Amino acid sequence: MKPLKSVNSSYPQIHPDRIPQHVAVIMDGNGRWAKKLGHLRIFGHKQGVTAVRTCLEVASELGVKFLTMYAFSTENWNRPAIEVSALMQLLVDTVEKELPELMKNNVRLRTLGNMEQLPKNARTKLEHTETATANNTGTTLILALSYSSRWDIIQAVQAIAENVQKGLISPSEISETTISNSLRTSEYPEPDLLIRTSGEHRISNFLLWEIAYSELYFTPVLWPDFTKQHFVEAILDYQSRERRFGKTSEQIGEEKK
Ligand code: IPE
Ligand code: IPE
Ligand code: MG
């Protein structure tokens, strides 16, 4: 993995001072990609793993600290059983195979979602990889699996309600911080940039609370076709934007001085 100072030489157009801290990706289009080539949908998922690897590599090189990848949603459990089990098998195989590479690249793996719904062997492999990479200090790869934002919000509301019931907090004390801290994403900064591939312009139940002020980037590229250059294009687009957080452009200009 190249150190951050090489960003300028490897990616001369990218401004090293404006690298997003957290990039979230809705990896979409595997099925359509496979169908276009006359293959089964699972072939697209397999090819999609290569794009995850590529994305992680460039994110690490650029010094992106957190990369959240939406790999399987709560709603994806409703897909045909054969696709779901093939996806789970692919997950198990990949997590096992990638561990040496994650170690070599100093990547820390975390999961986000309702892990209890995953098959036991997938959970065990994921836990093992999470533990093995826990002390790595490079990019944190957060795999959103069996995840939906509404699921997370429900569990957060339940935890807060319990604390109200116990008298630990009063309803009027519930703030943005209370809610943010009760989500499973509480230890990560909110995404600066959200990328969705495959030409769909929707969020599909991903990080609804957390993306309140994220920059959104949609590309027609199908996920298995997503390359380093596409990731760089997304970062460049992000760097061209002015994040105002409700303020005026003039105020932002003043703050920069
Ligand atoms: C994204 O690709 C991967 C998952 C949701 C698991 P899709 O499988 O949704 O591919 P399309 O959208 O049908 O092309
Ligand atoms: C979103 O993709 C979920 C993941 C990428 C894991 P979907 O393909 O499931 O989303 P919809 O159904 O098109 O909204
Ligand atoms: Mg899809």
Kindly report, residue by residue over 199-248, the tens digit of the pLDDT. 999 999 999 999 999 999 999 999 999 999 999 999 999 999 999 999 99
Q: Exposed, middle or buried, 39 (CB in 10 Å: 0-12/13-18/19+)?
A: middle
Calculate how far, in angstroms, residue 254's C-alpha sits from the geometric centre of ligand 1: 44
Q: What percent of the chain has pLDDT over 70?
A: 97
Q: Rounded to 5 degrees, what are φ and ψ at 38?
A: 75, 25
Which alpha helices (DSSP H) does 11-119 contain, by range?
30-36, 41-62, 81-104
Asked if the model's pLDDT at residue 143 lies above 70, the reply is yes
3-class SS of residue 232: helix
Question: Per-residue confidence at 3, pLDDT binned at 50, 70, 90?
Answer: very low
The per-residue pLDDT for 7 is 77
CB 76 less than 6 A from any atom of ligand 2? yes
76: annotated active-site residue: yes
Task: Please answer whether residues 169 and 142 qualify as being in contact, where contact means their C-beta atoms are separated by less than 8 angstroms.
Answer: no
Calculate how far, in angstroms, residue 196's C-alpha sits from the geometric centre of ligand 2: 10
Question: Per-residue confidence at 5, pLDDT binned at 50, 70, 90?
Answer: low
Task: Please answer whether residues 195 and 233 qualify as being in contact, where contact means their C-beta atoms are separated by less than 8 angstroms.
Answer: no
Asked if the model's pLDDT at residue 141 lies above 90, the reply is yes
CB 73 less than 6 A from any atom of ligand 2? yes
Q: Give the relative orientation of helices 41-62 and 81-104 as an angle to the nearest 10 degrees.
A: 30
Nearest Cα residue to 74 out of 173, 2, 129, 146: 146
Which residues partner with 109 through β-bridges? 141
Catalytic residue among 8, 17, 30, 76: 76
Kindly report, residue by residue over 54-74, the tens digit of the pLDDT. 999 999 999 999 999 999 999
Asked if the model's pLDDT at residue 77 lies above 60, the reply is yes
The per-residue pLDDT for 257 is 85
CA pair distance 95, 100, nearest whole angstrom = 10
Calculate how far, in angstroms, residue 175's C-alpha sits from the geometric centre of ligand 2: 31
Domain ranges of the chain: 21-238
The per-residue pLDDT for 137 is 98
Q: What is the DSSP letter of 167?
A: T
Kindly report, residue by residue over 177-191, the tens digit of the pLDDT. 999 999 999 999 999
The per-residue pLDDT for 256 is 85
Asked if the model's pLDDT at residue 9 lies above 90, the reply is no
Task: Please answer whether residues 90 and 49 qualify as being in contact, where contact means their C-beta atoms are separated by less than 8 angstroms.
Answer: yes
Mean pLDDT in the chain? 96
Question: Per-residue confidence at 6, pLDDT binned at 50, 70, 90?
Answer: low
Q: Which residue has the higher pLDDT, 54 or 10?
A: 54
The per-residue pLDDT for 153 is 98
Ligand 2 pocket test: pick from 25, 73, 207 the residue with the most ligand atoms within 8 Å of its Cβ: 73
Asked if the model's pLDDT at residue 14 lies above 80, the reply is yes
Ligand nearest to the CA of 75: 2
Which of the four CATH numbers 2.60.120.10, 3.40.50.300, 3.40.1180.10, 3.90.198.10 does domain 21-238 have?
3.40.1180.10
